Chain A
Amino acid sequence: MNDFPFLSVLTAAPAVGGLVVALLPNSRPTLAKALSLGWSLVVLVGTITMYTAFKPGGDRFQFHESYRWIPSWDARLTFAVDGIALVMLLLIAVLVPVVMLASWHDTDGYGAKAGEDRHSAAPVGVVPARSASAYFSLLLFLESTMLGVFSAQDIFLFYVFFEIMLVPMYFLIGSYGGQRRQYAAVKFFLYSLVGGLFMLVAVIGLWVLGGHTFDWQKLVEADFTTGTERWLFLGFFIAFAIKAPFFPFHTWLPDAGGAAPAGSAALLVGVLDKVGTFGILRYCLPLFPNASRYFAPLALTLALVGVIYGALLAIGQNDLKRLVAYTSIAHFGFIGIGIFAFTTQSGTGAVLYMVNHGLATGLLFLVVGMLAARRGSAAVSDFGGAGKLVPVLAGVFLLAGLASLALPGTSPFVSEFLVLVGTFTVNKTVAVVATVGVVLAAGYVLWMIQRTTHGTVNPALAEVEGMKRDLSLREGIVVAPLIALILGLGVYPKPVLDVIDPAVRATLSDTGSTDPAPTHPAPTADAVSKESGK
């Protein structure tokens, strides 16, 4: 099974499908949607097959493929995944069909567009139907580039995917988004592009100083002087810190997340941004281990500020999508802490956090999208008492919120716990301050829930026609797999942890980090009882 060229095929497949869908006439929107959904489900099946073929205890990188590309630069089409990339691929493959189904009516056009009219209670204006084939083919193209960026094992190839990925997302936000979509799309594009420029400089520097190659393995073994390593690290780090985003590079995210259609926002924040934290793990740490350790205090500080800052700002938002975007800034802070604490638990927790955040925040964005589509507005103040009108949807909203605040029993708890417990063993202050962020998370989630679904019913809300429909069957199918994964992994995270853990340990050994031993290991006198307990 390992001989099948999974990665290249999976990367190319959605783009091929996207091409077919793009060529469909605009008069056949349902065909375009169905074809896209079906195709993304095929990709999901392929990805699951690959996931089961992956050997957790085997080689660090598996499904290795390498093809001739630009010989004069020693750039090759090299694909390979470790456990970290693998779980991200699975996340993408799961989220894309879910998002497609959630976006089913996004292009149909209706009375008012989500988030467009945030101050008046009644929907105004009519949004014309837009091309479904273009929208869904963009989603497929986006899936291709996202799969590619996590599968690439050649630095130039990674860079190419890193930049191309922006294009479909730019159009998704700019053409299909809500109010201020142009502004948000341009801002998103430019921020990422400038980050990309920093990376490009570093990539070129790496090529020049690292032996005229883009091969990851060779570059890991290359030696740099201390100063060079630090500069190259910064080039990559700034690109990734903008993408993730870390404080203070975050201001594009609320605009982009607030303006994007809910489904695209779920993909943007759930997956695309993870390229930033993934890039730090795959490129910054192994390529520049000394610089990574050198800059770790700075990175930890930025991440920690993000945790608190994002949470406080989330509390202050009046737009649900912007609110969720700010919560993500806080969550990215936790991921950053986990990475730069350099312990097995915190690193594994950070990667698991990347997966869980994709599921939980993806769900949250989609549910917010469902609410906003009904209301014709994503403003918190336009809701109030929605629980009486759409009880099931409000229940799902609560569940997504509880996952977002990392309640035990949901999968984000496992990752947050691992990040904090691992960080605590090396840096008590950071872990304790980050725990304050955990308290604040309860604040923004519960206040959001209270202001939207609790209390007396907002009279203007009760008159909106959309609020008379509770969760539909289609929406139920959208949320069900995400809820199942959130609860399932919350109780039994082992299948994912077993894949992540070896990859994180390999990454940490690249940086020469080891876990601190317990200061007073508990006596193992009861080892006998443990064995008999099995």
Chain B
Amino acid sequence: MGSNVHFAAATGWLSTFWLLIAIPLASAAALLLLGRRADRWGHWLGVTSVAASFGLAVSYFFALRGVDERSAELRLFDFIDVGGLKVDIGLLLDPLSVVFVLLVTGVGALIHAYAVGYMAHDPGRRRFFAYFNLFVAAMLLLVLGNNYVMLYVGWEGVGLASYLLIAFWYAKPAAATAGKKAFLMNRVGDAGFVIAIFLMFATLGSVNFDDVSNGVGALATGTATVLGLLLLLGACGKSGQFPLQTWLPDAMEGPTPVSALIHAATMVTAGVYLIARSHPIFDAAPDAQTAVICVGAATLLIGAIIGCAKDDIKRILAYSTVSQIGYMFLAVGLGGVAYALGLIHLLAHGFFKAGLFLGAGSVMHSMNDQTDIRRFGGLWKPMKITWVTTGLGYLALIGIPPLSGFFTKEPIIGAAFDHAGWLGAVVGGAALLGAGLTAFYMTRLFVLTFHGPRRWTPDVGQPHESPPVMTVPLIALALGSLAAGALMMTSVVDWLTPVFGEHAESSEHWLITGATMAVTLTGVGLALVLFRKGTETEEQPAGILVTAARRNLYADAVNETIFEMPGKYLTRALVFLDNRGIDGLVNGLAAAVGGGSGRLRRLQTGYVRSYAMSILAGAVLVVVAMLAVTLG
């Protein structure tokens, strides 16, 4: 598998593809440095830079089609060259990265345009667009790097942008906390990723994609498995997968365009990209693949279950994202033909989830920034465009033909059942159940928001449709969800073949298709029955499962008990120890040697003799101890 990966050097027009990153980066820098001078027009610069990148991306896509190897590698200059370690500032455009580039810049440009309207009344709009451009640049570096260190630099860059944007309204304590939480949980995952890079260098002597892909076959299976698991840890952090999922719903504290672009369509799928990009490693490590499958299956259920119990429109969508990325992890964990399935689901999800978030933002825009679906209802009438576009996104997500989700999710369920042994049946069953739950919570969201009786709070006046700068992106994304499905099933899979290799077409799953449709319709029907006539506007007492789901299945509580509280106490204890213990020991020894406890009080004045003695005593103690250990 992947024994002879070779990238062609970029030539001609393709040798300029570093511009993809440079343009949004330059725009971000300009917006930050120009300060208030750019307040009036800065947002348009932000939109234009991403749109320009998209235009270039399309041209590079066609240029790449003309290259036989379907790859273009660009080594710009040396980043690190120390001893045997050589890391380039190098970029790679291949079928996998170009798909991401098109998604990031295309959906990114639409969401940037939408944000012009959404952030119109925010005094920090210029800063917002600076961070948003910075995100796009970092995300493009992430998918365009030709080695793991470049990928990591982009990886941390999007983490920074995500932190800045979640905490964009930093005066809100909840936003500041959510931003910090996202960064920290990502860092936990990143530790795994960076150790994986160390391991690659220690074993293979290189961190380039081609060298690692070609060399991984020579590694012992155990080493490859460790490598895969470390990468998986990194992927879980970035993509909000179990056990590092709890930051993603909190990230909804950021402005809604951020949720749409970063925490739904692009950044959170970086984990899927990492695994897909590292497929030779996972192909060589079946145990790591099994771990990916289990993480994916567990997370898709966790996200779907919690999604059913939430009342905040953005948090439902956030848990839905967690769940859908679980499907993608499941797919790339299955490997083989399912790699491409995971990626087409990623693309389809990028469109319909971005559309759903923007729809939610449009609703919030006219409802005084409220997010509680129990206080919506009947909005289909005043907000026709939002209603229709959100509706298309909703149907695409639950997988109603002929929308995109049907073509991308159902094959993953089928591939899961195809997996050998009992594991296939279990994860297939989980994926199938997840489809039913998805249909249930999304129907609940859609019906409670747009239909049924109005349950608006009194301060909401007359809800209105959003301005065209917001509705046009909504329509564009909805058309994407409508059209993309069938297209993706065929041409994208073929397009990705040079990356993942040829695989036999999986068998027809008419049985799976039927079962999926059955559970989906059951979910829809159940939700319709329950919520057709609206719902209570206050939280109702509930059974164990619903209560647990409302509490995010106690994931936050577990983190708090296991990590936060002991960490807090440890820190406090150490501060005490350092002041009283180590420093106190030194000072105390000084007092003892200096003769008499009467001097204790006066230690703080700093007697030369006592300090000298104390340090001497401490040092002698250490030396004696060392010698006793080493010579004895």
Contact = CB atoms under 8 A, between A and B. Distances in A.
Main secondary structure of the interface of A (DSSP, over half): helix
A525 B214 CA distance: 9
B586 A251 contact: yes
B463 interface: no
A315 B583 contact: no
A206 B74 CA distance: 54
A519 B202 contact: yes
A515 B85 CA distance: 11
A387 B212 CA distance: 44
Interface string B232-275: 00000000000000000000000000000000000000000000
Contacts of A450: 176-177, 180
A493 B84 contact: no
B215 A522 contact: yes
B202 A345 contact: no
A174 to B, nearest CB: 10
Given A191-B611, A409-B156, A529-B210, A414 B173 contact: no
A529 B173 contact: no
B615 A194 contact: yes
Contacts of B460: none
B202 A313 contact: no
Given A316-B571, A408-B153, A529-B7, A183 B211 contact: no
Contacts of A388: 171
A262 interface: no
A328 interface: no
Interface in B189-221: 190-191, 194-195, 197-199, 201-206, 210-212, 214-215, 218-219
B508 interface: no
A357 B211 CA distance: 33
Interface string B1-43: 0001111110000000000000000000000000100000000
Contacts, number: 228
A68 interface: no
B188 A529 contact: no
A315 B152 CA distance: 26
B612 interface: yes
B583 A529 contact: no
A264 to B, nearest CB: 18
Given A407-B160, A533-B73, A534-B75, A309 B574 contact: yes
Contacts of B187: 438-439, 442
Given A198-B619, A316-B572, A526-B210, A455 B191 contact: no
Given A493-B80, A518-B201, A518-B205, A439 B188 contact: yes
A421 interface: yes
Contact of A518 (B75, B89, B202, B612): B202
B605 A183 contact: yes
Interface stretch (A14-22, A95-103, A125-133, A424-432): A424-432
Contacts of A457: 171
B630 interface: yes
B204 A518 contact: yes
Given A454-B176, A455-B173, A520 B203 contact: yes
A492 B77 contact: yes
A269 B237 CA distance: 34
A494 interface: yes
Interface in B64-113: 73-75, 77-85, 89-90
B623 A186 contact: no
Interface string A491-503: 1111001000100
A309 B575 CA distance: 10
B606 A494 contact: no
Nearest to B206: A522
Interface string A417-450: 1101110110010011001101100110011001
A348 interface: yes
Say which size band chain B's interface belongs to.
Answer: 35 or more
B413 interface: no
A478 B219 CA distance: 51
A234 B170 CA distance: 50
A402 interface: yes
Contacts of A242: 615
Interface string B591-632: 000000000000011101001100110110011001000100
B349 to A, nearest CB: 27
A453 B218 CA distance: 51
Contacts of B483: none
Contacts of A55: none
A477 to B, nearest CB: 15
Nearest to B616: A194
B521 to A, nearest CB: 46
B296 interface: no
A190 B612 contact: yes
Contacts of A533: 7, 9, 73-75, 90
A313 B195 contact: no
B553 interface: no
B425 interface: no
A287 B149 CA distance: 36
B201 A425 contact: yes
A187 B606 contact: yes
A58 interface: no
Contacts of B120: none
A312 interface: yes
Contact of B156 (A182, A197, A312, A407): A407
B58 interface: no
A523 B215 contact: yes
Among A455, A456, A505: residue with most chain B CB under 10 A: A455
A177 interface: no
A428 B215 CA distance: 21
A520 B215 contact: yes
Interface string B125-156: 00000000000000000000000010011001
B183 interface: yes
B426 interface: no
A182 B606 contact: yes
Contacts of B297: none
B167 interface: yes
A424 B201 contact: yes
A387 B89 CA distance: 34
A242 B78 CA distance: 37
A180 B486 CA distance: 73
A209 to B, nearest CB: 19
Given A186-B608, A493-B80, A529-B210, A455 B582 contact: no
Contacts of A344: 82-84
Given A190-B615, A523-B214, A417 B82 contact: no
Given A186-B608, A343-B83, A521-B205, A385 B171 contact: yes
A420 B170 CA distance: 33
Contact of A294 (B5, B582, B630): B630
A529 B8 contact: yes
Contacts of B199: 424
Interface string A506-534: 00000000011111111101100110111
Given A309-B578, A450-B177, A533-B74, 9 more contacts: A248-B582, A313-B578, A413-B156, A417-B80, A422-B85, A439-B190, A454-B170, A515-B84, A520-B218
26 contacts: A186-B611, A187-B611, A238-B622, A298-B630, A309-B578, A312-B570, A313-B571, A316-B575, A402-B160, A407-B156, A413-B156, A420-B198, A422-B83, A431-B195, A432-B195, A450-B176, A454-B167, A455-B172, A492-B79, A494-B78, A494-B79, A501-B82, A516-B202, A522-B212, A529-B210, A533-B90
Interface of A: 182-183, 186-187, 190-191, 193-195, 197-198, 234, 238, 242, 248-249, 251, 294-295, 298, 309, 312-313, 315-317, 343-345, 348-349, 385, 387-388, 392, 402, 407-409, 413-414, 417-418, 420-422, 424-425, 428, 431-432, 435-436, 438-439, 442-443, 446-447, 450, 453-457, 491-494, 497, 501, 505, 515-523, 525-526, 529-530, 532-534
The list of the 6 closest CB pairs from A to B, nearest first, reads: A518-B205, A522-B215, A344-B83, A186-B606, A454-B176, A424-B198
